């Protein structure tokens, strides 16, 4: 079975600084997807960034980028130029390839990020 581990329950960063959130996962699959979701205090989960395991290039979305290390089964999220609006719970999630006929997301326990002015 697949598992996702986020070892940092809480992180804090000053506005405009850079912060990295860690995620490791366990799977025997070779094709899969990894995601970072953001859940602000209002609770609506929003997709931040997605990485396809068969792509070697790390995904980037504006201030958000990932460091995907497939052999190490590591998937960290870097937030550059942190903003107050980045304050939220961040979840790392895993999904098997669609050939298994399921789009189930398997989530980690989350990292609460606080951005200070």
Partner 1 sequence: EAGVAQSPRYKIIEKRQSVAFWCNPISGHATLYWYQQILGQGPKLLIQFQNNGVVDDSQLPKDRFSAERLKGVDSTLKIQPAKLEDSAVYLCASSLGLAGGPRTTDTQYFGPGTRLTVL
Q: Where are the beta strands (DSSP E) in 1-117?
A: 3-5, 10-14, 19-21, 24-26, 32-39, 46-52, 60-61, 64-69, 74-79, 88-96, 106-107, 111-116
Cβ nearer to partner 1, comparing 16 with 46: 46
Q: Using CB under 8 A, which residues numbered 77 to 106 contact partner 1?
A: 91, 93, 95, 97-99, 101-105
Q: Is 28 in the site for partner 1 (CB under 8 A)?
A: no
From the CB of 42, what's the least distance to partner 1, in Å? 7
Asked if 84 contacts 115 with a C-beta cutoff of 8 angstroms, the reply is yes
Interface residues with partner 1 (CB under 8 A)?
4, 31, 33, 37, 42-47, 50, 52, 54, 91, 93, 95, 97-99, 101-105, 107-110
């Amino acid at each position: 079975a697949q598992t996702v581990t986020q070892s940092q329950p809480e992180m804090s960063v000053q506005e405009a600084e850079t912060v990295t959130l860690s995620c490791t996962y366990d799977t025997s699959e070779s094709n899969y997807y990894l995601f970072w979701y953001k859940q602000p205090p209002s609770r609506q989960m929003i997709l931040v960034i997605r990485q396809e395991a068969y792509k070697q290039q790390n995904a980037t979305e504006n201030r958000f980028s990932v460091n995907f290390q497939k052999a190490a089964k590591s998937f960290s999220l870097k937030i550059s130029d942190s903003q107050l609006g980045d304050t939220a719970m961040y979840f790392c999630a895993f999904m098997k390839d669609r050939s298994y006929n399921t789009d189930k997301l398997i989530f980690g326990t989350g990292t609460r990020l606080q951005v200070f002015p």
